[in-house]
A and B are shown apart, each in its own frame.
Chain A
Amino acid sequence: MKYLIRFITQNPAGGTEHHDKVVDTAAVTIGRATDQILHLRDKRARLQHAEIANKGDGFHISTSALAGVTVNGKSQRDALLSVGDTIEVGANVLRIIEPPPEVDFAFSFELSTEATSEDLAQDWSTAGARVTELSKRKLSWYVVLAVLVLTLLVPAAGLLHPGIASLLRSSILPDDGLWLAGPVHSKHASTSTECENCHTNLFRRVTDEACLECHTATRHVTAPAETVLGERRCASCHLEHNEPPSLVKRHQGLCAGCHADMPDDSPFEDSSDFLDAHPRFKVSLLQPSVVEGEETEWNLQHLILSESRNMDRSNLKFDHAVHLDEEGIVTPDGRRVVECLECHVPEPGGARMKPVAMDENCIACHALTFDADDPDREVPHGDPEGVVQVLIEYYSARLLGDDPDAGSQRIRRPGRALTKEDRDKAAAEARVRALKIAEDLFERRACVNCHDVSETGDEQMPWRVEPVRLTESFFPHANFSHAAHDTEVTSCDGCHSASTSESAHDVLIPGIETCRDCHGSGVTRRNNSNQTASACVMCHSFHFENKGQYP
């Protein structure tokens, strides 16, 4: 296809000039882009605005521009062109002219000098401008000023005078509470809003004097503070503003610093972490010293628990398994299951258990009666000689006295006074009978059930009940509290396994493995999900270096 484009320009004289250009192409592209055949210098035109091409039925102009092209004054997207038609694209005007021979289509192109000065009410020059006239710099200064005034300048005014400080603290104005690095511990609540009580000097660490203003520190300091504390400050170990709130450094490293690697001559094994670097548990057990086959002095010995499981030498016999039978046992109230706490009663405060006592915990079932005819009479507990004495007196009285209940046992005949002969006879008979009953009690029916009873060979007192050697505290150096362990997941038997113990020799103290079910390392991340972080001071007490509380 050959197209002729006639460029018409106005000359300075006011007339018009034109020059022709013939292009051989399928379609004449019209647009603002430089690759267009008809290049428009008009911002209203698109890069590829329209094109003129033969569509079979003649030459068309077509466009995809929203504004379309105006053909003979009408805005159109596609129009069949004929000679004489006028096309407007922005300010440019194309006129279809009669094509000369050898040219298929011709049009003239008049570059308009018309400015886009037609009066339009809108001025868009500001519409595309910056999103806001507000300056970032100015906005920044506002924020700077607000933060500075609210968090520093106003609270700092309180430093000038205590009156201003208390005024700020009692008003909604910002005060130095905004500078709190963490919560004040509840123990310090009474002074909590007054920072200056502890922070006596600005830009200086809290001094010991500030602590000793209220505290006496007798637990730590028996000598002048400086000789004991040395380089340390109170706050070296007692930190405020922690989360979670805690006033004591509990870190196991404080102990492990020395205990992880003890000297060879130390009585202590190395210890640095309860989870896997703790010595085997040792229990304190009363043990006799054996001299020439004789058990003499009884002393507390620290024995490895796992090797001393049957070394309780209390001289008692007791079968926990029988007493804790799930079927129940016969009691004065009938057959029932006995609870641990019926015999093991916590001390006030609940930390430890009171020692089990016959008079309080056993007597209800284990009555010390001795005569079926007299079921209310009991022998005393804890005094073997007294038992024999009571029995002799009892039977003497029965044989001699006028107790109507004594019945046929009486040897006195009515209306006759007792002779010395009668008395001696009665005394001898009472003694025989008492010793018979005593033998029954000591060797078969009562004492021997719980106690080790041996024969003395002495006619006056033929039996010896071995003294009870109850260990009061198995772990005297650990701060254990039963009350603190009274939880939903714990049970007496869970730790002590008493229900399967058949011998009083069993040391029913849980081993370290049992503790580790719930207690782990002092370093939380080393523990499993069931274990609570357990640093040394959870069970053991603080002591200064080289001033250990242990011998």
Chain B
Amino acid sequence: MHESILAFNKRRYLWVSLLISALAIIAYWFNDPQEPANGGTALGYTLGTIGALMILWFTYFGVRKRRYSSTLGTVQGWLSAHVYLGIALIIIVLLHSGFQFGFNVHTLALVLMVLVVASGLYGVVIYIRNPERISENRDGANRSELFDQLDDIDRRSRRVAETLPEEFQELVSTGISRTLLGGTVWARLRGKDQSQVVLKSSNGSEVVANAGQEAALDWLAEQQSRSSDPEAAATIGELSALVRNKRKLLRKLTEDMRLQATIEVWLYAHVPLTAGLLVALSVHIITVFMYW
């Protein structure tokens, strides 16, 4: 049975994390430095060193997860520890700071660290929730199969349109070629449908937005109501049914891409922010001792 990284090994790392946090809080509570609590007291140096080593170890996860032959624990265990101890890190570093903040590189390092952890937590939520949502949405198919289904509908639409006047073929043809899925990160995350279609009317052709195939369906409905030939009207109805199916499929694909994008996109914050954190942390340590 699949065990989530949070539940790994009876939540071993949750307990480790709670223990570390509790120890740090107790030490901070009972510590009585002869000056306001800050990173330069004995406890401050201790917590700072622990925090820095934890950050290095967390960063090493990026290496460990690619070491497929490594037998030093499982990647699942590492990730579980990575997540739980990452939360404990915030507590340790806040205590290290003595809750002193300012417009300086030290607080920059803290802010970057909080952002890294926050993006990581977002990632955890996404990793736990979204795969299931993706399966549900795809309903057994994989993405390329969904695209094949889309092709199938498109192909049949063309075939149905062949018996209808030229403007219908134009509608189907431009509707297919101007169906737009994916696009930029934002477009995907917002699940935006930027499809277009060319509508032919007495005053010429016009490119209109066709999100959700609305424009095409409206146009078809209008044509169907105007049609005096019952056979043609039935064919238009069949075409409409196909486009409606296409709309459903497109929604599915858009949702699929949105879910897929959320799974990928948080790492684009997590990883570069980690890189920034490592530098800010180094500058923090260097400058603190430079102006000792």
Residues of A whose CB lies within 8 Å of any CB of B are 43-44, 46-47, 65-68, 70, 73-75, 90, 116, 118, 120-122, 124, 126-132, 134, 136-137, 139-144, 146-148, 151-152, 176-183, 195, 199, 202-206, 239, 242-244, 246, 249, 251, 253-254, 523, 525
Give, as a whole number of angstroms, the nearest-CB distance from A415 to chain B: 95
- Grouping DSSP codes into helix (H, G, I), strand (E, B) and loop, the A interface class, with mixed when no group exceeds half, is loop
Instruction: Report the bound CA distance from A70 to B286 in whole Å.
Output: 72
- Contacts A122-B179, A152-B286, A243-B100 known; A144 to B35 CB distance under 8 Å? no
**A182 engages B176 (CB within 8 Å):** no
- A198→B273 CA distance, assembly (Å): 34
- A151/B100 in contact, CB under 8 A: no
CA distance A464 to B94 in the complex (A): 73
* Interchain nearest-CB distance for A186 vs B (Å): 16
Interface pair B105/A179, CB less than 8 Å apart: yes
Complex Cα distance, B257 from A73, in Å, reads 32
Given A203-B289, A203-B290, 19 more pairs with CB closer than 8 A:
A44-B151, A46-B141, A66-B245, A90-B152, A120-B154, A127-B181, A127-B182, A131-B264, A136-B267, A141-B275, A147-B108, A148-B283, A151-B279, A152-B279, A180-B102, A243-B36, A243-B98, A251-B33, A251-B35
Minimum CB–CB distance from B279 to chain A (whole Å) comes to 4
CB contacts (< 8 Å) of A178 on chain B: these are 103-105, 108
- Which residues of chain B have C-beta atoms less than 8 A from A144's C-beta? 275-276, 278-279
Could you say which residues of chain B place their CB within 8 Å of the CB of A183?
A: 102
Report B271 CB to chain A, min CB distance, Å.
4
Considering residues B34, B35, B141, which has the most beta carbons from chain A within 10 angstroms of its beta carbon? Answer: B34
Is residue B77 contacting chain A, with contact meaning CB distance below 8 A?
A: no
Provide the bound-state CA to CA distance between A205 and B290, in Å.
Answer: 9
B32 touches A253 (CB 8 A): yes
Residues of A near B150 (CB, < 8 A) are: 124
CA distance A143 to B271 in the complex (A): 10
Q: Which residue of A lies closest to B291 (CB)?
A: A199
The complex places the Cα of A524 from the Cα of B29 at a distance, in Å, of 11
For residue B96, CB closer than 8 A to chain A, the reply is: no
A120 touches B155 (CB 8 A): yes
Report which B residues bind A (CB closer than 8 A). 29, 32-36, 38-40, 98, 100, 102-106, 108, 112, 139-141, 143-145, 147-156, 159, 173, 176-177, 179, 181-182, 184-185, 188, 238, 241-242, 245, 248-249, 253, 257, 260-261, 264-265, 267-268, 271-276, 278-280, 283, 286-292
CB-based nearest B residue for A146: B276
Given contacts A152-B287, A254-B34, contact A132 B242 (CB under 8 A): no
Q: How far is the CB of A274 from chain B (nearest CB, A)?
A: 15
Residue pair A179, B144 in contact (C-beta under 8 Å)? no
A206-B151 CB under 8 A given contacts A131-B260, A148-B283, A151-B108: no
Q: How far is the CA of A147 from the CA of B32 in the complex (A)?
A: 35
In the complex, the answer to whether A127 meets B147 with C-beta atoms within 8 Å is yes
Q: B176 contacts A179, CB within 8 Å? A: no
Are B155 and A148 interface neighbours, CB within 8 A? no
Contacts of A142 in B (CB 8 A): 272
A179 and B34 form a contact (CB under 8 A)? no
The reply to whether B182 and A180 contact each other, CB–CB distance below 8 Å, is no
The 10 A-B pairs with the shortest beta carbon distances in the complex, nearest first, are A121-B177, A251-B34, A140-B275, A179-B287, A143-B276, A127-B182, A139-B272, A140-B272, A147-B279, A199-B291
- CB-contact partner of B283 in A151, A177, A195, under 8 A: A151
> Residue of B at shortest CB range from A64?
B139
How many whole Å from A246's CB to the nearest CB in chain B? Answer: 7
Contact: B292 with A203, CB < 8 Å? yes
Distance A242 CA – B280 CA, assembled complex (angstroms): 21
Complex CA–CA separation, A124 to B40 (angstroms): 58
Contact B32 A130 (CB under 8 A): no
Q: Are A204 and B268 in contact (CB under 8 A)?
A: no
Whether B36 pairs with A44 at a CB distance below 8 angstroms is no
Report how far A143 CA is from B283 CA in the complex, Å. Answer: 14
Specify the chain B residue showing the minimal Cβ separation from A77: B241
Residues of A within 8 A of B283 (CB): 147-148, 151-152
Question: Distance in Å from the Cβ of B141 to the closest Cβ of chain A?
Answer: 6
Complex CA gap A124/B154 in Å reads 13
On whether A195 and B238 interact (CB within 8 A), knowing A44-B148, A127-B181, A127-B182, the answer reads: no
Q: Identify the interface centre among B36, B179, B188, B253: most chain A CB within 10 Å of its CB.
A: B36
Which chain B positions have C-beta within 8 A of A199?
290-292
Closest Cβ–Cβ distance, residue A70 to chain B (whole Å): 6
Contact status A136-B268, CB under 8 Å? yes
Q: Across the interface, do A121 and B176 meet the contact criterion of CB distance under 8 Å?
A: yes
CB distance from B34 to the nearest CB of A (A): 4
In the assembled complex, the Cα of A156 lies from the Cα of B155 at a distance in Å of: 66
In the complex formed, the residue of A with least CB distance to B246 is: A66
User: What is the minimal beta-carbon distance from A442 to any residue of chain B, in angstroms?
Assistant: 61
Q: Bound complex: CA of A43 vs CA of B108, how far in Å? A: 52
- Bound form: Cα–Cα A474–B275 in Å: 64
The CA of A73 and the CA of B100, in the complex, are separated in Å by: 74
Q: Do A120 and B176 form a contact, CB below 8 Å, given A47-B140, A67-B152, A139-B268? A: yes
**Contacts A131-B260, A249-B34 given; does A204 touch B147 at CB 8 Å:** no
A179 and B182 in contact, given A121-B177, A146-B276, A253-B34 (Cβ under 8 angstroms): no
In the complex, how many angstroms separate the beta carbon of B44 from the nearest chain A beta carbon? 11
Chain A residues whose C-beta falls within 8 Å of the C-beta of B29 in the assembled complex: 525
- Residue in B143, B149, B249, B286 whose beta carbon sits within 8 Å of that of A128 in the complex: B143
Residue contact B177 to A139, C-beta cutoff 8 Å: no
B177 touching A122, Cβ below 8 Å: yes
> Could you say which residues of chain A place their CB within 8 Å of the CB of B112?
147
Query: In the bound complex, what is the Cα–Cα distance between A146 and B279 (angstroms)?
Result: 10
Q: A120-B176, A151-B280 are in contact. Are A204 and B271 (CB under 8 A)?
A: no
Residues on B with C-beta less than 8 A from A130 are: 264
